[in-house]
Amino acid sequence: MSTATTASTAVPRSAEATPTDLAAPRPDLPPIPFTRLLGVEARKTFDTRSGFWLLAGIGIAATLATAAVIVFAPDSAQVYGSFAQAVGFPMALLLPVVAVLAVTSEWSQRSGLTTFTLVPHRGRVLLAKGVVAVAVGVVSMVLAMGIGALGNLLGAAINGVDPVWDSSVQQLAMIVLANVLGLLVGFTLGVLLRSSPAAITAYVVYWFLLPTMFGLLAAYQSWFADVQGWIDFQYSSTLLYEGDLGATEWAHLGVSGLLWLVLPLTVGVLLVRRSEVK
């Protein structure tokens, strides 16, 4: 009886796994294309409530700034340059926060384990986040400038004068570049710190505290006034709003950008690639 049971439950040799079967190579799957990563990161930017309202706040801030120029600015200041500068200030504050959240969401929402399991090459993920953040910044600035143009037409119609377009395409491009550089500072802080509160706090310090300290130092120390352009990245990038930079100013922007953007971002990428994701 036991012999019959054993024989009936025995596994045929043809069905047994052989060492050759176990060592069979797995099929090579194509890597996830970079365009798909861009689409995923773009959806992440808009899917969360914080991201949605932050982007909506950019449009609301541009509209309020345009309305403020129409209501409070004198007739002589009702020109497009006033509207462009008015919408540029809230952009400089909000766009870096968008870049910070684009990076730190992987750690604050604990989705990094899933992301980096599906895409082990973390550098590709960071590159996709950076491209999406810059694209959102450029599109937001173009839309804000469009709102400013409508405000210029509306203000001229209310005052009964012809609209004045005193800003060239080059000057507008300089304003966009200045805001993109500020956005990249926020992105760099997000990569370096990987914490939303810490990165946003660091950017507030960079935007408000450091210029005051550097300005006081330059006012009382002549040696620092001579080298401020080489060290103070915000001071160098602010000159872009004036739209006319010479060779020296571009050199200041490049060297200070190397200190405040390239080197910290390189360190941050190395830390992200080696950090443990939980």
What's this model's pTM, rounded to 2 decimal places? Answer: 0.83
pLDDT tens digit sequence for 148-178: 889 888 888 887 778 888 888 888 888 889 9
CA dihedral sign, ordered 146, 152, 157, 161: negative
- Highest-pLDDT range among 71-80, 159-168, 224-233, 237-246: 224-233
Q: How far apart are CA 202 and CA 131, in angstroms?
A: 22
Name the phi and psi angles at 78, rounded to 5: -80, 65
pLDDT at 28: 66
pLDDT at 3: 46
Domain ranges of the chain: 34-272
pLDDT at 192: 93
pLDDT at 55 over 90: no
Per-residue buried b or exposed e for 143-161, using 16+ beta carbons within 10 Å of the residue's own CB: ebbebbbebbebbbeeeee
pLDDT at 278: 65
pLDDT at 129 over 60: yes
- Highest-pLDDT range among 17-26, 68-77, 122-131: 122-131
Coil/strand/helix, residue 278: coil
Q: How far apart are CA 264 and CA 258, in angstroms?
A: 9
